[in-house]
Amino acid sequence: MSKPIQFPVWCCFAAFPVVLFVIALALATPGVAWCQAQGAGQPQQPQSAPDLGGPSADSGAIAIPKKNAGENPPAPPPAPAEPKIKLPEGTPTFSMRVEVPEVTVDVGVLLEKNHQFVSGLKPGNFRVYEDGVEQKVEGFKRVEAPITALLLCEFAARGWSFRMDMLNTAAAFTQQLRPQDYVAMMTFDLNTHIVSDFTQDKRQIEQGINRLGAEMSMPMAFSETNLFDALSEALDRMSRIEGQKYIVLIASGVDTMSKLTLDKILQKVKNSHDITIFSLSTGGFLEAMTGGRGGMMGGMRDLTYLQAQNQMNTFADLTGGMHFAPRFTGELPDDVRLINTSIRSKYELVYRPSNTKQDGGWRKLRVILVDEEGQPLRIQDEKHKPLKYDVIARDGYRARQEVE
């Protein structure tokens, strides 16, 4: 008999790991087959996501890792710093201001019979229309304040009666000045001449009138009267002064050699701001005595002075002033008193125009008076007799031109 093969003891220990591996492989093989057999007969159940996150299979859901309890969330990243714009050295800073346009209308209400100012009116008594559209009046007050006026007087070799009428009218106006008023005087023939600059001392105006009176007997330099050019220069001078201003135009109204045409000066009068013109025509007595004599020369002369009257009246109407054509010296005190009353006593209305376009266009104005029921206002005297009145206001204004 052959002897059994004996292995050393160390060989058994060396082969022991291999044996364990074989046994483990044999046990694992039936388990895998069982899982496959179970899955073949039943639908698959969705797999739960692992607690630690990550996909459990290629087509499984993505699990979000759980946060540890008590762990603070990470701080958000800081916001980016605002960019700082640094202007080059020497660059000026600019600011923008948006102005809401306002229109101020000075309104005088005078009785036709005695030219007395009608006081006691309320905001509800006024209706303001701009280009036919009613405007909402937001500001209202009664104004009686010192005046700033320029006496623009024709002083040429047109005739002795014209110069004398001018001096008497200027003297009558000066007598009614008050200590707080600012007044200047300028004359014109072919050119303009400043007699007195703006002053509150009416004695300077009186001295200037006296000097002109002393020159009445001296031969005049020019007989031409450039009215349009003189009025244009006066408007330019007055436009540099803040606030409401007045031009008291004392002249025949005849223009002979002005560079400006009638259309140009009317356009400039329309475009003027815060300037009211009161005009007084000279030579009324001479025209009444010599007018209507007939003949070619007489007819031409009458036509010339009729046009002159219309021009003087138009200057006043366009700016809300008044025109007077006195024939006798005795009329002057009442005429200048009416001018002073109209200048000092008035109603000031303020509104924001519904037409906000700044296109430089002409805006037509109309002011009427109404009662509490919106009907035309009726004024009566103590005996309940109706009194007629005049509403004196600007004919319109020129809108601002927007600058692009």
Residues sharing a CB contact under 8 Å with residue 385, sequence separation 6 or more, in sequence order: none
The reply to whether 24 falls in a domain is no
Does the residue 245 lie in any domain? yes
- DSSP at 221: S
Please compute the mean of the pLDDT values over residues 3-7 and round it to a whole number. Answer: 47
Dihedral class, residue 84 (left if φ above 0, else alpha if ψ from -120 to 50, else beta): beta
Same domain, 215 and 363: no
Within a domain: residue 201?
yes
Evaluate whether 205 touches 150 at the Cβ level (below 8 Å): no
Instruction: Work out the pLDDT band at 38, boundaries 50, 70, 90.
Output: very low
Residue 351 included in any domain: yes
Q: Which of 29-43, 310-324, 359-373 has the lowest mean pLDDT?
A: 29-43
Q: 180 and 246 share a domain?
A: yes
Weakest-pLDDT range from 36-40, 209-213, 224-228: 36-40
**Residue 339 three-state SS:** helix
Residue 254 sits in a domain whose CATH number is: 3.40.50.410
Cα 342 from Cα 117, distance rounded (Å): 7
Three-state DSSP class for 223? coil
Q: Name which of 211, 178, 180, 219 is nearest 194 in CA terms.
A: 211
Q: Are 225 and 249 in a shared domain?
A: yes
Average pLDDT over the chain, rounded to an integer: 79
Give the residue from 316, 344, 372 where a domain finishes: 344
How far apart, in Å, do the first and last CA atoms of the chain sit?
A: 129
Compute the C-alpha angle 400/394/396, nearest 5°: 40
Instruction: Convert the pLDDT of each residue in 43-102 to its tens digit.
Output: 444 444 444 444 444 444 444 445 555 556 666 667 666 555 565 666 555 544 445 588
Judgement on whether residues 161 and 248 belong to the same structural domain of the protein = yes
Instruction: Say yes or no: 241 and 266 in one domain.
Output: yes
**Can you tell me the mean pLDDT for 277-295?**
79
Clarify whether residues 221 and 247 are in a common domain. yes
The pLDDT of residue 199: 95
* Residues 390, 286 share a domain: no
Residue 83 lies in a domain: no
In a domain, 88, yes or no: no
- Which residue, of 329, 344, 359, is where some domain finishes? 344
Asked if residue 202 and residue 137 are part of one domain, the reply reads no
- Say which residue, 285 or 181, is predicted with more confidence: 181
> How many distinct structural domains can be found in the chain?
2
319 in any annotated domain: yes
Question: Which domain-ending residue is among 321, 344, 367?
Answer: 344
Together in a domain, 328 and 352: no
Of 179-193, 287-301, 302-316, the poorest mean pLDDT is in: 287-301
- Exposure string over 365-390, b if 16+ CB within 10 A, otherwise e: bebebeeeeeeebeeeeeeeeeeebe
My answer on whether 314 and 366 are in the same domain is: no
The pTM of the full predicted model, rounded to 2 decimals, is: 0.61
Is 318 a member of any domain? yes
Quote the CA–CA distance of 208 and 195 in Å, as a whole number.
Answer: 6
Q: What is the pLDDT of residues 117-174, one digit of tens each?
A: 888 899 999 999 999 999 999 999 988 778 999 999 999 888 888 999 999 999 999 9
More confident residue, 80 or 328: 328
HEC readout, 353-398: CCCCCCECCEEEEEEEEECCCCCECCEECCCCCEECEEEECCCEEE
* Residues 293 and 207 placed together within one structural domain of the fold: yes
Q: Which domain holds residue 207?
A: 146-344
| Average pLDDT value for residue range 24-40 | 43
How does residue 11 score in pLDDT terms, banded at 50, 70 and 90?
Answer: very low
Is residue 233 domain-shared with residue 333, that is, in the same domain?
yes
Average pLDDT over residues 326-341: 88
The CA distance from 369 to 34, in Å, is: 110
Span 374-400, pLDDT tens digits: 999 999 888 889 999 989 888 888 888
User: What are the φ and ψ backbone dihedral angles of 28, each rounded to 5 degrees?
Assistant: -75, -25
